[in-house]
Amino acid sequence: MDRPGAVARLRGALGAFAEQYLTPGGRWSVALSGGPDSLALTAVAARMRPTTALIVDHGLQPGSAQVAATARRQALELGCVDAQVIAVTVGTQGGPEAAARTARYAALAESGGCDPVLLGHTLDDQAETVLLGLGRGSGARSMAGMRPHDPPWCRPLLGVRRSVTAQACAELGVTPWLDPHNSDPRFTRVRLRAEVLPLLEDVLGGGVPEALARTARALRENTDLIDGLAEQALTGAGSGAGLAVAELAVLAGPVRRAVIRRWLLGGGGRGLTDLQIRAVDRLITAWRGQGGVAVGSDQPGQRLFAVRGDGLLQLRYEPV
């Protein structure tokens, strides 16, 4: 039997995703950059449900408004019931890639309303995410990659190679936009894509992106289990005054650190690292009267500290 065409494979992936995660019928939105991944996904989505294309114009490149206008026209020609261009202002926090991503997701969340938002991330994107997490030593949670379904975000193509979306565009007769940033070696992901992954494929004999995606899935299953246990433990250890050290001390290390992470995030912590979480953990497991542990904060001009006192872990803000 002949292998199904690229469009049919994408339709099958999206249909299986919708059956597993979404309620029948209804509408959805799709984040459209104009690139091959999102353009192919838009084409398939528009044939399955009423679809609104959300096109974010970051304004970071000359001609970005024209690129967005072209994507809007293509979305409507492909059958979308609506297509919106959303202009955003990109900040600087976390570097250009992170700042653009933050602005994009905020715009998509606001414009998507209550609808699921389809994202065109592929298996190749997942593999790159796992490598980034591994290289940064961010722990299992970072290496677990992107979730297929993290409402409102939907990633139905995480099992599909990037080459399939490019072939689907060829089958559909549509011309995708090729973002120059995707070949710019100043960006870490580009170097992973162009240098590191091909080298690993050569050294290990192929199949590396698929293996990395399987690793992400296995780690995600483990972290989901730990998160469930942590939620229960946080309820037992938490109080208005802080977290009871005695309740935390008896927990298994991975569960205790997951409790700490959730507690820090709930208290305004941001950009948490594995090193910071383990330092807070030592306030429980290796207490010698040490001072507080500073973590990233969501309050401008304020530093957030986790401190121990009177048998409790507590959070304290201090001016920078």
Tell whether 34 is in a known binding site: yes
Is residue 29 part of an annotated ligand binding site?
A: no
Q: What are the φ and ψ backbone dihedral angles of 311, each rounded to 5 degrees?
A: 75, 15
Establish whether 33 is an annotated binding residue.
Answer: yes
CA distance 17 to 79: 21
CA dihedral 312, 313, 319, 320 (to 10 degrees): 150
111 is in an annotated binding site: no
Neighbours of 40 (CB within 10 A): 29
Structure tokens at 32: 């459209």
The β-bridge partners of 84 are 54
Q: Is 36 one of the annotated binding-site residues?
A: yes
Answer yes or no: is 57 a known binding residue: no
Q: Is 126 left (phi over 0), alpha (psi -120 to 50) or beta?
A: alpha
CA 171 to chain centre: 29
Ramachandran angles phi, psi of 269, nearest 5°: -70, 145
Q: Which residues contact residue 251 at a Cβ distance below 8 angstroms, ignoring those fewer than 6 apart?
A: 233, 259
Q: With contact defined as beta carbons under 8 Å apart, do 245 and 237 qualify?
A: no
Annotated binding site: 33-38
Residues of the binding site for ATP: 33-38
